[in-house]
């Protein structure tokens, strides 16, 4: 059942989008006085080696965080349009994210990539709580060991449970402030309807929480339907929403020199946020054009940003 390992994908373009949005959301939510509860329903292993076998095999980080880190010294020169976009410097949300990743790599070389549990924990106040769900036995064990190193005691709990069910016992949260991040691997088709069902149920349990869903943009009906369903849900309930997407290349199949059909790998992804902080849109308006320009793999690179209330 579990063939997905995030270690292959850590630091790729989808992580750049997801973690930039996650940080921008958390920067806002952690400014308030009351304790925040963060539920990470699909947490992964927490920390990943970029110089290890998994990351080296896939090479995905090279076209994600590594490219971003080289924004001032690219391997090939930026186009005039991109150079103009970058002239004022990196947008604050992107710079914040890059600094976070660099903070885990004090030697100056990117060897380690922090997943959502570590990024989140770094931004929390002492009073805040983080609940991490991870079902894969190996990743759950690694996550537990990784988080234990932080010695933050009861602030963080690692639960080897189904995140699609486990969140229920934490909503509504004690101080009535929560962020739920839902970032499944979508390796099973049923993940798509489960995400939508969870969002609906979570909003019933706690209507004012912030709900953030990452989704792949791939030629599959369920994948297309998910952001539409989330938008319908938010609109029906009169909740604000924001949908940010990043495309780095064409989704078309190609043919290699041997005549074999090649899949392009993940070409694009999106993040849908229900009840987003009011500061999020402006932050992403500045960050997304730079992200799309820096991570572009072909002329199909683009970004999307829409919102409603």
Question: What distance in Å separates the CA atoms of residue 39 and residue 179, rounded to the nearest whole number?
Answer: 6
DSSP β-ladder status, 129-133 and 156-159: parallel
Residue 265 Cβ vs ligand SAM, minimum distance, rounded to whole Å: 15
Cβ contact 40:120 at 8 Å: yes
**Does residue 134 belong to the site contacting ligand SAM (CB under 6 A)?**
yes
Q: 152 to each of 35, 48, 127, 172, 261, how far by Cα in Å?
A: 16, 20, 11, 23, 49
Question: Which CB sits closer to ligand SAM, 60 or 139?
Answer: 139
Nearest residue to 103 (alpha-carbon basis) of 156, 141, 63, 47: 47
Total number of residues that touch ligand SAM (CB under 6 A): 20
Nearest residue to 231 (alpha-carbon basis) of 247, 211, 205: 211
Question: What distance in Å separates the CA atoms of residue 163 and residue 184, rounded to the nearest whole number?
Answer: 9
Piece of the chain touching ligand SAM by CB under 6 A; list 27-35, 40-48, 241-249, 259-267:
40-48
**Does residue 4 belong to the site contacting ligand SAM (CB under 6 A)?**
yes
Question: Which CB sits closer to ligand SAM, 69 or 82?
Answer: 69
Closest residue to bound ligand SAM by CB: 115
Q: Which two tokens stand for residue 247?
A: 């495309």
**Does residue 13 belong to the site contacting ligand SAM (CB under 6 A)?**
no
Among 183, 225, 256, 298, the one annotated catalytic: 183
**List of residues 6+ apart from 137 with CB closer than 8 A:** 160
By CB under 6 A, the residues from 251 to 290 that bind ligand SAM are: none
**Does residue 116 belong to the site contacting ligand SAM (CB under 6 A)?**
yes
**Does residue 44 belong to the site contacting ligand SAM (CB under 6 A)?**
yes
Question: Which CB sits closer to ligand SAM, 116 or 210?
Answer: 116
Show the CA angle centred on residue 53, arms to residues 17 and 246, nearest 5°: 15
Question: Which CB sits closer to ligand SAM, 9 or 82?
Answer: 9
What is the number of alpha carbons within 13 Å of residue 154 lying toward its C-beta? 1
Residue 146 Cβ vs ligand SAM, minimum distance, rounded to whole Å: 11
Question: What distance in Å separates the CA atoms of residue 67 and residue 60, rounded to the nearest whole number?
Answer: 10
Please indicate whether residue 183 is annotated as part of the active site.
yes
**Does residue 6 belong to the site contacting ligand SAM (CB under 6 A)?**
yes
Question: Which CB sits closer to ligand SAM, 105 or 185?
Answer: 185
**Does residue 177 belong to the site contacting ligand SAM (CB under 6 A)?**
no
Question: Which CB sits closer to ligand SAM, 23 or 301?
Answer: 23
Place of tokens 């690694």: 142
Q: Which two tokens stand for residue 298?
A: 């072909």
**Does residue 162 belong to the site contacting ligand SAM (CB under 6 A)?**
yes
Residues that bind ligand SAM (CB under 6 A): 2, 4, 6, 18, 42-44, 115-116, 133-136, 139, 162-164, 183-185
Which sequence positions are flagged as catalytic?
Answer: 183
């Amino acid at each position: 059942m579990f063939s997905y390992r995030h270690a292959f994908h850590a630091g790729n373009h989808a992580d750049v989008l997801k973690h930039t949005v996650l940080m921008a959301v958390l920067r806002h939510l952690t400014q308030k006085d009351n304790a925040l509860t963060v539920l990470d329903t699909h947490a992964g292993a927490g920390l990943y080696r970029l110089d290890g076998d998994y990351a080296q095999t896939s090479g995905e980080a090279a076209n994600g965080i590594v490219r971003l880190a080289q924004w001032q010294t690219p391997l090939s020169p930026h186009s005039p349009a991109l150079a103009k976009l970058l002239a004022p410097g990196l947008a604050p949300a992107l710079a914040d994210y890059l600094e976070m990743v660099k903070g885990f790599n004090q030697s100056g070389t990117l060897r380690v990539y922090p997943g959502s549990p570590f990024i989140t924990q770094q931004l929390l106040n002492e009073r805040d709580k983080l609940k991490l769900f991870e079902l894969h036995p190996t990743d759950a064990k690694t996550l537990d060991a990784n988080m234990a190193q932080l010695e933050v005691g009861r602030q963080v709990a690692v639960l080897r449970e189904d995140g699609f069910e486990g969140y229920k016992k934490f909503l509504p949260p004690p101080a009535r402030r929560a962020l739920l991040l839902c970032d499944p691997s979508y390796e099973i088709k049923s993940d798509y309807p489960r995400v939508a069902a969870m969002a609906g149920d979570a909003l019933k349990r706690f209507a004012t929480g912030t709900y953030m869903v990452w989704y792949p943009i791939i030629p599959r009906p369920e994948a297309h339907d998910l952001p539409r369903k989330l938008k319908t849900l938010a609109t029906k309930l009169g909740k604000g929403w924001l949908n940010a997407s990043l495309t780095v290349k064409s989704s078309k199949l190609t043919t290699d020199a041997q005549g074999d059909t090649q899949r392009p790998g993940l070409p694009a992804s999106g993040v849908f946020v229900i009840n987003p902080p009011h500061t999020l849109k402006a932050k992403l308006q500045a960050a997304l054009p730079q992200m799309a320009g820096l991570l572009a793999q072909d002329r199909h690179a683009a970004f999307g940003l829409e919102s409603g209330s």
